[in-house]
A and B are shown apart, each in its own frame.
Chain A
Amino acid sequence: MTDITNSIPKLDAKDKLSGQALYVSDIQIDGMIYAKTVRSQIVKGKIINIDIPFLPEGYFTVSRQDVMHKNVVKIIFEDMPYFATDEIHHLNEPIMLVVGPDKSVIQSIVDQIKIEYVTEIGVFDDRDAPVAYSFKKGNPKKVFSKATQVIEMNYQTGLQEQAYIEPQGFVAYEEGEKVTLIGSIQCPYYVKNAIIDALGCEPNQVRVIQAAVGGAFGGKEEYPSLIACQLAVALKKVHKPIKLIFEREEDILSTTKRHPSTIHLKAALNELNDVVGLSADIRIDGGAYIGLSSVVLSRAMIAVSGAYTIENIQVEGKVLRTNTVPNGAFRGFGAPQMIFAIEMFMHHIAKETNQDAFAFRMRHLARQGDKTSTSGVFRDPIILEDLIRVATEKSKYHSKALAYSQTGIHKGIGMSFFLHGCGFTGSGESTHINAKVKLFKTEAGLVKILVAAVDMGQGIRTTLPKIVSSILEIPIERCIFDYPDTDFVPDSGPTVASRTIMIVGGLVARAAKELKETWIENKEQSVIKQYVQPDYIKWNEKKFKGDAYPAYSWGVNVVEVAVDPLTYQTKILNVVSVYDVGKEIDERIILGQADGGIVQGIAYGYLENMVAVDGKIKQKNLTDYIIPTALDVSKMSTYIIDNPYPLGPYGAKGAGELTLIGGAPAVALAIEMAVNKKITKIPVTPEYLMELMHHDD
């Protein structure tokens, strides 16, 4: 058998290249009409009157008056209405839909709708914290009281927009009592369950189908459920197929983004200048509704000590509620904020205590058998030192760091170490998700892979069939993986948290093995597998104690920059990355994830600048919100070192998010070297650098 890592052509590449893949905006249904959302023009306040103009025949408004059951989007907390109530909590909150056959008529109706408000003052600080968690490891109190030195720093991270190139959208239609939604989504069952709740209907009256997804990065995890609920209610009123596609500006101004954070860190050092205690206060801005913020916060808190082992830890975390657009899932899910802070902090501690930063960080690396931040155990081999060795060699880190530390060079090189917990945090997989997958073999010997996982560009339409074909030893053309349709696929969970290959792929692999053993020619057969948590994994959700994840992927990024001494523009010169993702199911696909992830991660650190001032997001399109172009990207080299995880398919672990989370600290450390000033905030914009240069430390 050939090595599973050997790349094969992506199975959906030709359809996408030739423009024939069907994204949601490409879907046409006879008699289809359109919808547009009317949004609040104030940040906070009350609606006192809505004046709707005369509606021509065939045009309707759909609002909370039409809600049949519940006006909340089912996420975790039931706090977000899909049609605003009388109370407005953020700018561009959806109030109603206008639907009808002609888009320009719809637009003129939207323009004529007059809403009167009583405006209130919004909250934009830390006054309102609906979620507060804390946990500890060891005895932080004791080590802090005995410390020879305590060092404190404060770090800040900004908003980041997913900026998938395909905006959000759905097509919705009715078949009898049943509503069907085809959408650009990551989680077909999240959408289905949200609609069941919204309509108060039976599960078999809702069907959700994935269209080709033009990028998601977390932005199509929970947000689409909101649009889907609105459309389901609209369908029940107008009984015609409806298409709703966001415009770019609407997408940027009203959908979820990466949570801004402030992270206050305190380290207790002993007489050897080792960190023996760490205390953290992490605050993330959830925006107006909690959504997934509590889960994002958990992941950030658990990542508190990054790739290091620190014996005594105290962590406090809060989700702040402010009158801004709600924030939500974005590749990395809380980890990029925390990894930025801890990587900068470790470097800053070393500087503060006149130690070599590299040696200092190496001394603290996590090792197999160590206790995790939540007092679980790193059970599997950790090969971080190997990754670091390859990264330093390939990037010539040490000689460059030496050369660039001279003044007047304006160049820098930065290195980040990081880990990412694969799959849902804590007992999520076993208590909330309970993934189920199915393989169905037809009489003719075609094997259908029935899972709810979505290909949004990360390649599972190729990698899942590849796993099945390789186990069954049948040609990949006979392994069929269509876009998931909840009428046919079991709930294998959402396409999030770097869980698809490791968890869903692992179950698919087990099902394929069973099918192989029981294979009977010319006969229909099916095999179902359900997730079972390995029994050594114990997690106490209340206390944040135990194994927060079944496995961890690891990475090292090295970024080299030049900073223009006059304009303070940063230019990326070179990037080297080394990862342990267990085992690559397809080398080219992993390298593609690596390139895309690190470019997003680095840009998060220095380029992508989004600010909300008093609840108003200042960047409203792709002209104002700058994401990298081909000109911003340097040479990038990625190296993967195998370290198979026994429960992953062929040893594979999570990969998608890992590749993003080390980018920001690596680029920030590189810039710090180039300008010789302490960086504590991302993005490191020219304006921020200018400020730093004109202030003496």
Chain B
Amino acid sequence: MMIKFTLNGQLVEVSSDPSRRLLDVLRQDFSLIGVKEGCGEGECGACSILFNHHVVNSCLLPLGNVMNQDIITIEGFKTTARYQAIEQAYIDAGAVQCGFCTPGMVMATESLLHLNPTPTDAEIRIALSGNLCRCTGYNMIVEAVKLASERGKGLW
């Protein structure tokens, strides 16, 4: 089946089995390796992408469901000014350790700030609660989201 969707701002067409996981399509067919597989069962969020600007686990998303939708991965997002703000905030807050959860966390951060540019601590924790991190204990990531929100005034 031919599936058309927008991927990182470009219209793409994939002729493939619509039941394939979007995660595999992104990693294998498009070499978008910033989308990570940590569990394959919707628990860890390492595979997070933006689906019409909402954070979604791509391991649970069948390819067929993205027909005519807008998909952004870390590779597409990293060219934006918002990414720059988030990146610097993560670095300054010390939010990156092993880095395996990190691209997913960045996508969750973008999804949150897009909806709510000035989230409270509790709102940030809820927004990140679908993304597991085993290294940082989360508080430096929460701090990074706050920093990005403060510094990125007007970006979201």
Contact = CB atoms under 8 A, between A and B. Distances in A.
Is the A/B pair a real complex? yes
B148 to A, nearest CB: 12
B97 interface: yes
B142 A13 contact: no
Contacts of A364: none
B-side binding surface: helix, strand, loop or mixed?
Answer: loop
Contacts of A14: 87, 91
B108 to A, nearest CB: 10
A25 B33 CA distance: 9
Contacts of B75: 18-19
A9 B96 CA distance: 10
A598 B78 CA distance: 32
A275 interface: no
A592 B40 CA distance: 27
A-side binding surface: helix, strand, loop or mixed?
Answer: loop
A13 B105 CA distance: 13
Interface in A454-509: 456-459
Contacts of A165: 36, 38, 44, 46, 98, 100-101, 132-134
B40 to A, nearest CB: 6
B33 A19 contact: yes
Contacts of A12: 96, 99
Given A19-B78, A25-B37, A456-B98, A598 B137 contact: yes
Contacts of B99: 12-13, 15-17, 21, 212, 214, 457
Interface string B117-145: 00000001110111111111111111000
Interface in A3-25: 7, 9-10, 12-23, 25
Given A215-B134, A596-B137, A631 B125 contact: yes
B94 A589 contact: yes
B5 interface: no
B43 A596 contact: no
Nearest to A458: B97
Contacts of A264: none
Contact of A457 (B86, B97, B131): B97
Nearest to A252: B39
A166 B91 contact: no
B102 interface: yes
Contacts of A627: 132, 134
Given A165-B44, A212-B99, A600 B94 contact: no
B113 interface: no
A591 B86 CA distance: 20
Contact of A595 (B33, B103, B129, B140): B140
Given A459-B97, A622-B132, A17 B102 contact: yes
A599 B137 contact: yes
B152 interface: no
Contact of A18 (B31, B34, B37): B34
Interface string B62-104: 0000000000011100100000001100111010111111110
A509 to B, nearest CB: 23
A588 B94 CA distance: 6
A590 to B, nearest CB: 10
A629 interface: yes
Interface in B1-38: 31-38
A212 B135 CA distance: 14
B137 A214 contact: no
A252 to B, nearest CB: 10
A134 interface: no
A649 interface: no
A57 interface: no
Contacts, number: 173
B150 interface: no
Contact of A248 (B40, B100, B140): B40
A164 interface: yes
B38 A166 contact: yes
Nearest to A14: B87
A294 to B, nearest CB: 27
B55 interface: no
A10 B43 CA distance: 28
A15 B100 CA distance: 11
Contacts of A217: 134
Bin chain A's interface residue count: 35 or more
A7 to B, nearest CB: 7
Given A17-B96, A622-B43, A630-B125, A248 B38 contact: yes
The residue among A19, A22, A23 with the most chain B CB atoms within 10 A of its own CB is A19
Nearest to A7: B94
Interface string A60-86: 000000000000000000000000000
Given A248-B41, A598-B137, A633-B137, A23 B132 contact: no
B102 to A, nearest CB: 5
Given A456-B98, A457-B97, A596-B135, A621 B128 contact: no
B41 A621 contact: yes
B50 interface: no
A26 interface: yes
Nearest to A25: B37
B106 interface: yes
A247 B40 CA distance: 8
Contacts of A456: 98
B142 A630 contact: yes
A214 B132 CA distance: 12
Contacts of A592: 94, 97, 135-137, 140
A213 B43 CA distance: 20
Interface in A212-237: 212-217
A622 B100 contact: no
Interface in A550-609: 588-589, 591-592, 595-600
B96 A10 contact: yes
B138 A633 contact: yes
B103 A17 contact: yes
The residue among B75, B91, B99, B130 with the most chain A CB atoms within 10 A of its own CB is B99
Given A627-B134, A630-B124, A23 B100 contact: yes
B74 A163 contact: no
A10 B33 contact: no
B136 A164 contact: no
A622 B44 contact: yes
A203 B96 CA distance: 36
B94 A18 contact: no
Contacts of A167: 37-38
6 contacts: A12-B99, A18-B34, A165-B100, A166-B100, A630-B126, A630-B128
Interface of A: 7, 9-10, 12-23, 25-26, 28, 162-167, 212-217, 247-248, 456-459, 588-589, 591-592, 595-600, 621-623, 627-631, 633, 635-636
Interface of B: 31-41, 43-44, 46, 73-75, 78, 86-87, 90-92, 94, 96-103, 106, 124-126, 128-142
Name the 3 nearest CB pairs between A and B, nearest first. Answer: A19-B34, A16-B99, A214-B100
Given A18-B87, A214-B98, A457-B99, 6 more contacts: A16-B96, A17-B78, A165-B100, A458-B97, A459-B97, A628-B138
